[in-house]
Structure 1
Amino acid sequence: MPHAIEYDRIGGPEVLEYREIAHALPGRGEVLVEVRAVGVNPIEWKIRSGKRASPPLNGPRRVGTDAAGIIVAVGEGLDGWAIGDEVIVSGASGAYATELVVAASKLTRKPSELGWEEAAAIPIPVGTAHQAVMSLGVDADDTFLLHGGSGAVGQSAIQLARRLGATVVATASEANHERLRELGAIPVAYGPGLADRVRAVAPEGIDVALDAAGTDEAIAVSKELVSDHRRVATIVQGARAAELGVRAWGGGNPVPLTPEEAALRADAVPFAAALAAGGEFQLEIARRYPLAEAAEAQRQSETGHVRGKIILIP
């Protein structure tokens, strides 16, 4: 029988339970995917813990949006997909599972050269990074300050900005500085004196900044160093964007993505998958957990000190 992670009440990681679920068949325009890897994203534990508002729980709630797997059944009225196709799943409901019914519109064909874990690591982190970098208008003339460079979104943003020719200055703990250099960024340590350290490595100034760390320091230093605050943004502190006087996408921002911004996130999945399959984009896997240990995976994510991406293996 298939299994999934569910919870019945808001709370800590311990509310997550590994449960047997009923076998489901795809409806019209849907497929059934046998899941091979699942991406763990911070939004999932934020909703589970009540840190991010969500509809009332009226029954078991499943978890997760990003996965990769193989199509094992195809619903009626669906052309272009077949049993055996390898796919990346984006924006699903209940991806922490051994099998998943999903609309075909949420599928991207997985290149055969791309591993399951790397494929599942793409959707939210790379989509968020791509949209933010493009919405900020980062280009070859810019020096781009990125807070939280070692996380999954941060590593993606570095690579995408470097592909556009920008100079990237990225913050992280010193233990992760070599990783930032490997990706083409100039590393700086966060903490007191950050603005002066950034000035030292970027004497000609900072043109644009993105907060992927979620700290007051990140916003304050960005606004201090970037003269045009329309080019300062956060993907973590969206609920405070108006108060902070910066742009925001997600992170609790009450303003939804525009259709253009949503399209940028969707377009990033096949784009990054093709690049990664060709060895031109790196997706670092931080830790792997069995699906049944989803609580521990979220507990680790909640620490905020994850380099790369956490993956669940059904």
Structure 2
Amino acid sequence: MITTASRKNADYVRQLGADEVIDYRTENWAEKVQDLVSGGVNMVLDSLSGLASDMSVDVTAAGGTVVSLNDLADEKRAKNKDVHVTRLFVTPNGDDLRAIGALIENGELPIPPINRLPFKDAAKAQEQSRSGHVRGKLVLEIV
């Protein structure tokens, strides 16, 4: 598995299972993927959209798939390369949520660090997120 992360989070994402970590701040991730995998990868999970979606198509092998959490890549570009693009939608399901909870409890599914802040610190949370000083999730608590 190849992923992108900042240099400071590289070891963390390796612990989660990444084989290769590309520093998105200092490297062109699409060029690096193409250097690592001749012919492209089988699947890309695109959580960014925009230019990243088109770059995701570029690094995907013919017959591969780009799964997007947001906007889809240029359909014509993907079709010309024989790359399938799809959007991921998740619908809450009680059985699935219980199964995920069991995986977390058994230590089989690691969860990211969660930094909880009171709602009054929303501006601070936004600045932390914008500056890249967050590992895991920021949660604003409303009480």
Q: Distance in 2 between matches of 1:292 and 1:204?
A: 50
**TM-score w.r.t. length of structure 1:** 0.35
Aligned to 1:285: 113
Q: Distance in 2 between matches of 1:275 and 1:302?
A: 28
1:234 is aligned to 2:68: yes
Go from structure 1 to structure 2 and tell me whether the alpha carbon gap of 1:286 and 1:200 turns closer, same or farther (over 3 Å shift): farther
Q: Distance in 1 between matches of 2:124 and 2:97?
A: 27
Q: Distance in 2 between matches of 1:308 and 1:302?
A: 10
Q: Distance in 1 between matches of 2:38 and 2:50?
A: 24
Which among 248, 252, 260 is matched to residue 87 of structure 2? Answer: 248
Q: Distance in 1 between matches of 2:28 and 2:140?
A: 38
Q: Distance in 2 between matches of 1:222 and 1:197?
A: 12
1:68-79 map, 5 Å: none
Structure 1: which amino acid aligns with 2:74? L
Match of 1:283, SS state, is coil
Q: Distance in 2 between matches of 1:175 and 1:288?
A: 21
1:171 is aligned to 2:10: no
1:183-194 map, 5 Å: 183-185=16-18, 186-190=20-24, 193-194=28-29
Q: Distance in 1 between matches of 2:63 and 2:86?
A: 8
The alignment's C-alpha RMSD in Å is 2.9
Higher relative contact order (CA 8 A, sep 6+): 1
Match of 2:3, SS state, is strand
The structural deviation recorded for 1:283 is 1.3
Q: Is 2:41–2:64's contact at 8 Å kept on the other side of the alignment?
A: no
* Identity over aligned pairs, percent: 26
Structure 1: which amino acid aligns with 2:118? P
The structural deviation recorded for 1:170 is 0.6
Q: Is 1:214–1:234's contact at 8 Å kept on the other side of the alignment?
A: yes
Structure 1, unaligned stretches of length 5 or more? 1-167, 250-256
Q: Distance in 2 between matches of 1:304 and 1:244?
A: 30
Aligned to 1:220: 54
Go from structure 1 to structure 2 and tell me whether the alpha carbon gap of 1:286 and 1:214 turns closer, same or farther (over 3 Å shift): farther
The structural deviation recorded for 1:304 is 7.6
Go from structure 1 to structure 2 and tell me whether the alpha carbon gap of 1:229 and 1:214 turns closer, same or farther (over 3 Å shift): farther
Aligned to 2:81: none
Query: Which string of whole-angstrom CA distances, capped at 9 and with x for unpartnered residues, describes residues 254-310 of structure 1?
Result: xxx5xxx52xx535422221111111111122422124434543x247628332111
Q: Is 1:209–1:232's contact at 8 Å kept on the other side of the alignment?
A: yes
Aligned to 2:33: 198
Q: Is 2:112–2:136's contact at 8 Å kept on the other side of the alignment?
A: yes
Aligned to 1:211: 46
Query: Which string of whole-angstrom CA distances, capped at 9 and with x for unpartnered residues, describes residues 100-125 of structure 1?
Result: xxxxxxxxxxxxxxxxxxxxxxxxxx
Q: Distance in 1 between matches of 2:131 and 2:110?
A: 21
The structural deviation recorded for 1:209 is 0.6
